[in-house]
Structure 1
Amino acid sequence: MSVRHTLWIALIALTPGLSAAQDVVTYDYGGSFDDATFGVENAIVNRGLVVDYVSHVGDMLNRTREDVGGDQIFSAADIYIFCSAVISREVMEADPMNIAFCPYGVFAAERDGQVMIGYRTYPDGPMDQVETLLDDIAREAAGQ
C-alpha cells in the first residue's frame, strides 16, 4: 500500500461522520433547467461568494454514455462549486479534518422532465453551518 493511500485511509478514518454514501437534500423547481442554474449562481453570488467552478456532470454522463454503457441519467446536471472563507475557517478551526468537505457544492439537475436543486449533507456539529448556507442557497434558487 502506498503512503498516499495510507494517508487517505487515515484521513477518512479520522474524519467524524464521513461515509461513502451521504444524504442529499433536494427542492423541486417549477421552471427550466437553465433558469434553475441561473438561480443557483445568483444565490451564491448574492452572498458575496465566488463560484470557483461549474462541473457539467450531465454533459459528461451524456457524452460518455455510449462508451461506458448505460441509460441517460439526467437531461442536464451542473454542480456549482464554491467556498466561504469565513465559514470554512470556523469549521476547520473546530476540526481541521473538516477540510475533507471543502469546497461546497449546490447542484441543479433535470431528470424525467423534473428540475431539482440540491446539495449533499454533512456530519452533525460544526458542519451544520455549511448545511445552513447550502440550504439557504438552494431554497433561494428554488424560490422557496
Structure 2
Amino acid sequence: MKHLMTAALIAAASACAAEEPVTYTTDQSFEDVTFGLESAIIDAGLVVDHISHTGEMLERTRADVGSDVVLFQAADVYSFCSASVSRSVMEADPMNVMYCPYDIFVAVLADKPDETIIGFRPYPEGPMQEVQTLLDGIARAAIGME
C-alpha cells in the first residue's frame, strides 16, 4: 500500500510540474504592465501583499551561484489574496489554503526584450477554478484585454 501511495504522489507531482503557466504577451513595457497589474488588483478591491523582485534577485546573485546566464531584463511576482474567493474555495476544501496567496508574474525575457509576459500558474479543476477566473481577469485587465 505504501508503495502505491508513493507512486501516486510521484505521478501527481510530475503532472503538476508539467503544467504550463497561463500567459499573455504584449508589446507594452514592463513598467506599463506592472502599473496595469497593480491598478487591476486595486480595481478588483484587493491589496498587493508582496512584490517579489525575482529578476533583480537572480541577476544580483548570478555570479555568486556560478552562472553567466542572464534570464530576464525584468521579472516581478505580485502576491495578493481575496477574502471572499479564498473563503469560497477553502469552505469547499480547507486544504486549498496551500494555494494562498495568489501570484501573478510579469517578466521580460533577456532574449525577447520587446515582449512583456504576464501570467500565473494554472489551478486544478473544481473550486480552484474560481481563483483561476479571478487571476485571468486581473491579468487581462492589466494589459487592456478586458
Please classify the TM superposition score into its range, dividing by the shorter chain length.
0.7 to 0.9
Normalization by structure 1: what TM-score?
A: 0.85
Alignment map for 1:76-91 (pairs within 5 Å): 76-91=74-89
Q: Describe the SS at the equivalent of 1:19.
A: helix
The structural deviation recorded for 1:143 is: 1.6
d(CA) in 1 for partners of 2:27 and 2:61? 28
- Moved beyond 6 Å, runs of 4+: none
CA RMSD of aligned residues (A): 1.6
Q: What letter corresponds to residue 132 of structure 1 in structure 2?
A: T
How far, CA to CA, are the matches of 2:88 and 2:106 in structure 1?
27
Counterpart in the other structure of 2:123: 122
**CA distance in 2: counterparts of 1:101 and 1:127, whole angstroms:** 9
Alpha-carbon distance in structure 2 between the residues aligned to 1:42 and 1:50? 10
Superposition deviation, residue 21 in structure 1: 4.5
Q: Which moved more, 1:80-89 or 1:28-37?
A: 28-37
What's 1:34 paired with? 31
Matches within 5 A, 1:18-33: 19-33=16-30
Aligned residues: 130
- Structure 2 unaligned segments of length 5 or more: list them: 1-8
SS in 2 for 1:75: strand
Over residues 21-43 of structure 1, what are the superposed CA-to-partner deviations in whole Å (9 max), with x where a residue is unaligned? 54301101221101110011100
Tell me how far 1:108 sits from its aligned partner: 0.7
Counterpart CA distance in 1 for 2:74 and 2:104 is 14
**Identity of counterpart residues, as a percentage?**
55
Q: 1:98 is matched by which residue type in structure 2?
A: N
Residue 143 (structure 2) pairs with residue 142 (structure 1): yes
Choose 18-27 or 104-113, whichever is displaced more. 18-27
Task: Report matched runs for 1:10-89 at 5 Å.
Answer: 19-68=16-65, 69-89=67-87
Gaps of 5+ in 1: 1-12
In the alignment, is the contact (CA less than 8 A) between 1:22 and 1:122 conserved in 2?
no
Alignment TM-score, normalising by the size of structure 2: 0.84
